[in-house]
Structure formats: C-alpha cells, structure tokens
Amino acid sequence: MKERTENILRKLVNINTTNPPGNEMDIIKTILGFFPEDIAYQIVDHGNNRGSLIIEIKGEDEEKIGFIGHLDTVPVPDESSWDYPPFDGVVKDGYMYGRGTADMKGGVTAMILTALYFIENNITPPHTLKFVFTADEESGGIGVLALRDKGLLKDISRVFIPEPTDEEIGICEKGALWLKIYAKGRASHGSRPDLGINAIEKLYEYIYRLKGTMDLEKEHPLLGKSSFAINMISGGVKTNIIPERAEASVDIRTIPGIDHDEILNEAYKIGKGMEEENPGLSIEISIENNRPSLSIDKEDGFIKDIVNSYKKLSYPVKFKGLNFYTDASQLIPFHNIPFVILGPGEENMCHQRNERTSIESVVRMAKLYIFYIINS
C-alpha cells in the first residue's frame, strides 16, 4: 500500500493546481484514471478549466457518508528557494516534498485509496460513500458552493474533511471574515492638513475603532483567541500631499461564539458615525470572505465512533482545533450534519516552503477511513 500511495500522491503533485488559476479539470482527469471506467461519477464544470468531481459507491443502505477534499493549492512564489522542485514529488526519509502534499493532496490520496479498497475488493460498504473533490477551496470556494447550491451534497449524513490535522481529530475550526475598507477624504497641500481630510489617518482610526469592539481576549480550549490583522494597506501619492484615498484589507479570525453579523453591524455603524463626525469623509466596506467558525461536541455519536475506531486501531486519541478554514465552513451552516476534520500530514506544513507529508501518515488515515466505514 505504501508504494501505491506514493505513486498516487506523486501523480497528483505533478499536476500544477495552484490557485489562481486552479486548473482542477487537469487533476480530475488523473483521478478518474485511477478508477474503472464504469465508476459512478459526476463532474461539475465551473468554466476556465476548473471543475469539481463526485464519485459515489453504492452501499447496503441509502445513508451517505461523505468525504470532501479540495484539489487546488496555494501558489509557489519562491520556487527557486525550495530544496526540491515543488511539482516533482521527491521522496526523502519517508516524506514526499511538493506543493499540496500536506494541503491537501495527501488527504485526497487517502480518499482515493479508501474508494479503491471497496471497488477492487468488490466490497459493498454498509452505507453509500460519496467522495467529493472540490475546486477553489483556497480562495472563494466556488467548488463546494456550486455543489451545495445544486443540491448535490444535501444527502450526506456525516462528513469527513481530510485536511492535514497531524492525524488528530479536528472538532472545531476558526471562522474567517475578510474585509476591504475604502476611505475617501479630501486632498490638500502637506503644509495645510487643516484644509484636507487625511484618508490614511481616518482609515487607521476606523480600523482600530472596529478592532476595539471585538473581544480578542476570550479563549477557546482548542482554538485559543480570535485575531484581527491588517494585512494589506495602500494610499497616498506624495509626501507633501494630504492623501485623498486609502484602502486596507483586514483578516479577522473568530472562535465559536463570535457572530460575524455582529462584527459587520459594528463595521457599518462605525463607518456611518465617522462620516457624520467628518463631513466630506466616505467609508466603504466590502466583504471578501465570510466563513463562520464551526464546532462539534466530542460527545457527538459520530465523533465517539471515530474515537472507538482510533482505539481499536491503537491510534493515539487527541482532539484538535484548526486555525484555518475548510470547505466545511460553506457546507455545515447550510446542511447541519456531523462533521470531522481529520487527515494526514502536519497542519504547520500548510502553505509553507518545502511543504511535505509523510507517506505513512496517508496510509494510516486511509486505513482509519476504511475501518470506520466497515464498522459504522
């Protein structure tokens, strides 16, 4: 199984699905090549060589267990500084190096191995299995959104998200709210700031007012604290001109219990208040990403069954919270089903130079999925 795992993962890594542009259709063809031609599958075409794939294996009953993994990866801006070419899939000391090995072509490989186990051994699983391979998780999530909105995921009764979790059982993830803020003031000569409205200064004032409305000290036992970061900012044209325009992007990550609608209400209220305080000032806000935090009780029956599978396989049981968001954030709020984020690879390898994953980790997670399915 180890050699086959390595071969599948390498073929996936060899295909450049960095987003943008994604090109997930290229990897979908490769995935289908691992399966018999008569496999039940559906491709959803998103245009521009982008697509998502569903493979279904009929079970003894109609209940459906889902596995959702994304096919795109983040870009490689520093390819020359990698120890090994990021699309070669070089293996050294049991690890495969390459973009997407951890996030999350390792998890996708475990999904493929799980599906092939039942097909090649002619085993009918107790429940129908739905393997969902999505586009664009690293950006806006066009894949999972399209599948969800077409009603193609509503029949799933419990779902695995095989993102890299250090093989720990992920029962919660932080939410993400990305805001772009535009400030328009009034230009004036640098020697007469009193005649202008400094858009940069007002932008900073707005951001820190908004930040001040959030409880950033409250802690979650697995996720720690919420965060608020200014990650992009621009404005101004010259040292001696009071800037008329400025814009910034903020990345807010939230723990369960913090409502994004409340943050947005405060955002609009602060903007309106500052406009009233400063006639001539305009504040505009656009939402770039809005994914709520998620959490499932470790006493939920689905999680308890996974724990039992861990114990029977002699895997160490440890619960985990994920600081990054997953496709679950755009599914679970609409189809309230039990979920777990659980997959091979190290969380801290995501988006890193010299990204890597352990071949044995992929094998272990595939064995866990198979064991859980058979005993569910």
Identify the burial level of 298 via C-beta atoms within 10 angstroms of its C-beta, where 0-12 means exposed, 13-18 middle and 19 or more buried: middle
Q: What is the pLDDT of residue 375?
A: 96
pLDDT digits (tens, 9 = 90+) for 59-110: 999 899 999 999 999 999 999 999 999 999 999 999 999 999 999 999 999 9
Two tokens, residue 58? 């009929």
Q: What is the pLDDT of residue 316?
A: 97
Question: What's the CATH fold of domain 2-173+293-375?
Answer: Aminopeptidase (3.40.630)
Two tokens, residue 322? 């994920």
Question: Tokens 């092939």, residue?
Answer: 116
Rounded mean pLDDT of 123-132?
98
pLDDT digits (tens, 9 = 90+) for 232-267: 999 999 999 999 999 999 999 999 999 999 999 999
Rounded mean pLDDT of 292-320?
98
Q: What is the pLDDT of residue 210?
A: 98
pLDDT digits (tens, 9 = 90+) for 148-205: 999 999 999 999 999 999 999 999 999 999 999 999 999 999 999 999 999 999 999 9
Over the chain, what is the mean pLDDT?
A: 97
User: How is the chain split into domains, by residue range?
Assistant: 2-173+293-375, 175-291
Pairing mode, strands 169-173 and 319-322: parallel
Query: Are 328 and 67 a contacting pair, CB within 8 Å?
Result: no
Q: What is the pLDDT of residue 4?
A: 97
Q: What is the pLDDT of residue 82?
A: 98
Judge if the upstream peptide bond of residue 86 is cis by omega within 30 degrees of 0. no
Q: Binning pLDDT at 50, 70 and 90, where does residue 140 land?
A: confident
* Alpha-carbon span 179 to 238, nearest angstrom: 26
Question: What's the CATH fold of domain 175-291?
Answer: Alpha-Beta Plaits (3.30.70)
Whole-model pTM? 0.93
Same fold, 2-173+293-375 and 175-291: no
Question: Tokens 């619960």, residue?
Answer: 319
Q: What is the pLDDT of residue 276?
A: 98
